[in-house]
Structure 1
Amino acid sequence: MEVVQVLCMNGGLGETSYANNSLVHRKVISMTKPIIEEAITQVYSSVDAISNRFCIAELGCSSGPNSLVVAAELISTVHQLSRSHGLQLPEFQILLNDLPGNDFNSIFHSFLPQFRSQLNKQMGSNLAPCFVYGVPGSFYGRLFAANSLHFVHSSYSLMWLSKLVKVPEGMEKCNKEEIYIGSRSPVLVINAYYNQFRVDFDTFLKWRSEEVVGGGAMVLTILGRRSDNAASKECCYIWELLALSLKEMVSEGGIEEEKLHSFNIPQYMPSPAEVKRSVEMEGSFAISRLETSEIRWADCGSSCGGEDVAKCMRSVAEPMLVEHFGETIIDELFGKYERCLTDCMSKEEMKFINVTVSLIRRG
C-alpha cells in the first residue's frame, strides 16, 4: 500500500463522507482561532511584501466545509487590520493542498460558493479580489514558489506519515496484533514510528522554510498527546478499539489473520516536546506559541455517542481499509467498532489531545 495513493478522507457528501463527519475538526479549528489571529496580526505588522498580495496555504485541506474556514477568518482579520491602519486591502491567494486522491471537486462545487457568499456578505464592495487554487501533492515535498507564502495553516494532517512504518527486523510478531502503536508495543516499534515522524516533520519544515517569506507564519495543529509515552491511552486507544473489532472479525472468519497482521496505520501522534525538538533542530522557524488542548470523543456529533465517533473514524480510515481488506467487510467492521466505542464511552470520558504550534519564519 502506497500511502500517497490511498491516504484520503471519504469524499462526496454522503452519510459516511468526511464533509458530513468532520464536526470535531471544525471545533478544533474554532479552539485555535485566537492563536491564528495572533499570528496573522504579527505577520501583518512585520512583512512589507503583503502590501499588494497576501498568500495563504491550507495544507491537508481535505474535502469538507472546513477547508475554507480558516481562509475566511484570515481574510476578515486582514481586512480589519488594513482598515485600522488606513491601508489598501491586498489581493488574496488561497492555495488548497492535499494528496491527489482528495475530492477537490467537492470543495469547488459545494463549498467555494458558500465561501464567496460569506465574504461578500461580510465585506460587500470592500472585498478585494480573492483567487482560490487547488494544489494536489504531498506536503512532504516542495509545493510552492520560493518566498511566496505569507501564512500557512494545517490542522489534523501532520500526524499522517509519508509512508508505512517499517517495523525493525525480528520485531514483526511483537506488534502483529496492533494496527498502530499499542499498549504492548515494544520500544523498538515505538521508536520506528517516531523516527518516521521525525524525518517527515523535519522534511516538512525544510520545504516550508523555502516557501514562506521572512516574517511569515505557520499555525499547525496536530493530533497528538500530552504524555511522554507514545503508547499512552490518550493517543492510541482510538486505534486499539478498531484493532479489537478487526480481531473479532478474524475470529469469525470474516478476515484472514495474515491480512490483519500486515495492516498498519501510517500515523504518529507527537508530544509537544517532540514537536519543539524538531522545530529547534531544523532552525528556520521560531516558536511563538506551543500549546495542548483537548476535545471529547463525544464532540464528534450531536448524539455524543459511539455512533458519531465510528462515523468520524470511518470517514478517515475507510479508503485505507478498503484498499487492504476490500469493501465487503466495511459495514460489519464499523458496526462492531461502534459497539466497542459505545461501551468504552459509557465507562469513561475519552478525549483527543491536540498539539498546536505557532511559528514565525526567521528573516
Structure 2
Amino acid sequence: MPAAAGDQMPPTQSICMIGGDGETSYARNSRFQRGVQSRLTPLVEEAIADLCRAGVPSQLCVADLGCSSSPNALALVSAAVEAVCRRLGNPSPAAERSRPEISVYLNDLLDNDFNTVFKAVPSFLEKHAGAEEGGERPLVLVFGAPGSFYDRLFSAQMLHLVCSSFSLHWLSKVPQELVDGVLINRGNICAGKTSTPAVTAAYTRQFEQDFKLFLASRAKEIIPGGWMIFSMAARPARDFASQPRRLLEFAAEVLQDMASQGMIASEEVDLYNVPVYTPCLEELRGAVELEGSFEVARMESHEVIRSHGDAKQRAAALRGLHDWALVRHFQQVDHIGDEFRGRRRRTSVGCPRR
C-alpha cells in the first residue's frame, strides 16, 4: 500500500503463522489462542449493544486485525454479527427497518494464508444468512484487508468496531540494535528473564514505537464513538524476571544445546531473535494514555493456563508459531523440529500464565 503524502513509512511487519492444514500449521495448533479469544466475546457483544443503542445502523463495518489462518479467524466477527441479529430480533422504536449491511474485514500480512481463511467464508455466510424469527438477518459482506496493522489499512472514520486477538505482542521487527549485532541477547531469543537491561530497553522502545503507530492509525479509521477491543500476551509486572516460563525460553534452550553439540553455529544462535514483546498492564495503559486518541473503557489481566499436549503436539505448536523465523534465519527447520520434539519428551515445561 503506498504511503499517504506526508506520512512516514513505518517498519515492515514480518510475522506470519504457518498456513495450510498440515501437522505444524497454525490452523491445527491454535487451540490455546482460541481459548484466549473466547474471553473477548462478551466485550464484542457489549460494544455492539453500545453502537446500536439508538437502533441498528444501516451500515456497520467490523474488522479483525491479525486474523491469521486458523478457524479462529472468523470467531470474533461472527460474535459481532450475532449480536447485531439479536438487536434486530428485538428492535427499538428508533431502529432502522431496512435490512442493515455488515461489512467484515479480515486483516493480516501479505504472506498470510488467506486461501484457508476464505474457504471458511461460505459456511460463515450461510450461518448468518436467511430470516430469523422476530427479526431480519443483516446482509453480511466479507473482505480481505492484507497489510501491516502498524500502518493505515482503511479509509478515515470507516470502522465501527475493531478486534484483535493475541496479535499485538508481535512487533513489526526485531530491534535494530540486535539485527546489527550491536547488542547480543545471549541465551535468549526475545526480551527474557536473563536478557541484559540494554536488550530489554531496545525491545521496550520497539514496542512503544509500534504500539503508537497502531493506535494512531486506528484513531483515524474508527468513527467517533467507535470501539476497539484487543487481547495480547503480557507479563505480570514491569520486572522482566516476573515472566513465567514460556515456550520461547524452551526454544532458546534447545537452540543453545544444538549449538554446543555443533549442530548449528553458535554465532547464528546468538543473532537469532524473535520480534515479540509482552508488556505489563501498567505499560499498556501508559502507552494508550500517552498517545491520547482513545479512552480506556476497561483493561484487565487474566491468568491463563496452557495445556501443552504430548511432545509431538507441543513441538508442532512451537513450529506453527516460529517456523517462519527459523527458516529465514537457519534456512532449514526439520532437524530443529526433531530436537524440539525429542527435548519435549524429556523436559517438563511450566504452564505460561498471563
Does TM, scored on the shorter chain, surpass 0.5? yes
Mapped to 1, the partners of 2:181 and 2:146 lie a distance apart of 37
Mapped to 2, the partners of 1:310 and 1:258 lie a distance apart of 24
Q: How do residues 216-227 of structure 1 correspond to structure 2 at under 5 angstroms? A: 216-227=226-237
For residue 141 of structure 1, what is the aligned residue in structure 2?
151
Q: How many residues align?
A: 339
For residue 352 of structure 2, what is the aligned residue in structure 1?
351
Mapped to 2, the partners of 1:64 and 1:42 lie a distance apart of 29
For residue 126 of structure 1, what is the aligned residue in structure 2?
136
Alpha-carbon distance, 1:191 to partner: 1.1
The answer as to 2:80 corresponding to 1:71 is: no
**Is the Cα contact below 8 Å between 2:171 and 2:277 reproduced in 1?**
yes
Which residue of 305, 316, 330 corresponds with 2:321? 316
Q: Structure 1 residues 5, 187: CA separation in 2 closer, same or farther (over 3 Å shift)?
A: closer
Q: How do residues 296-307 of structure 1 correspond to structure 2 at under 5 angstroms? A: 296-298=305-307, 304-307=309-312
Which residue of 144, 159, 177 corresponds with 1:167? 177
The answer as to 2:336 corresponding to 1:326 is: no
Mapped to 1, the partners of 2:132 and 2:331 lie a distance apart of 48
Q: Which amino acid aligns with 2:183?
A: E
Q: Structure 2 unaligned runs (5+)?
A: 1-10
Q: Using the aligned pairs only, state the percent identity.
A: 35
For residue 7 of structure 2, what is the aligned residue in structure 1?
none
For residue 221 of structure 2, what is the aligned residue in structure 1?
211
For residue 160 of structure 2, what is the aligned residue in structure 1?
150
For residue 41 of structure 2, what is the aligned residue in structure 1?
33
Q: Structure 1 residues 101, 77: CA separation in 2 closer, same or farther (over 3 Å shift)?
A: same
Which residue of 191, 198, 202 corresponds with 1:192? 202
Q: Which has the higher helix share?
A: 1
For residue 284 of structure 1, what is the aligned residue in structure 2?
293
For residue 273 of structure 1, what is the aligned residue in structure 2?
282
Q: How do residues 14-53 of structure 1 correspond to structure 2 at under 5 angstroms? A: 14-45=22-53, 51-53=57-59
Query: Which structure ranks higher in relative contact order (CA pairs < 8 Å, sequence separation ≥ 6)?
Result: 1
CA RMSD of aligned residues (A): 2.4
- TM-score norm. by structure 2 comes to 0.88
SS at match of 1:144: coil
Q: Which moved further from structure 2: 56-65 or 120-129?
A: 120-129
SS at match of 2:304: strand
Mapped to 2, the partners of 1:27 and 1:52 lie a distance apart of 32
Which residue of 73, 81, 86 corresponds with 1:80? 86
**Is the Cα contact below 8 Å between 1:306 and 1:345 reproduced in 2?**
no
Q: Which amino acid aligns with 2:242?
A: S
Q: Structure 1 residues 224, 338: CA separation in 2 closer, same or farther (over 3 Å shift)?
A: farther
For residue 252 of structure 1, what is the aligned residue in structure 2?
261
Q: Structure 1 unaligned runs (5+)?
A: 354-363
Alpha-carbon distance, 1:180 to partner: 1.0
**Is the Cα contact below 8 Å between 1:63 and 1:104 reproduced in 2?**
yes
Mapped to 2, the partners of 1:129 and 1:121 lie a distance apart of 9
Q: Which amino acid aligns with 2:28?
A: N
Q: Which amino acid aligns with 1:66?
A: N
Q: Which moved further from structure 2: 179-188 or 137-146?
A: 179-188
SS at match of 2:335: helix
- TM-score norm. by structure 1 comes to 0.86
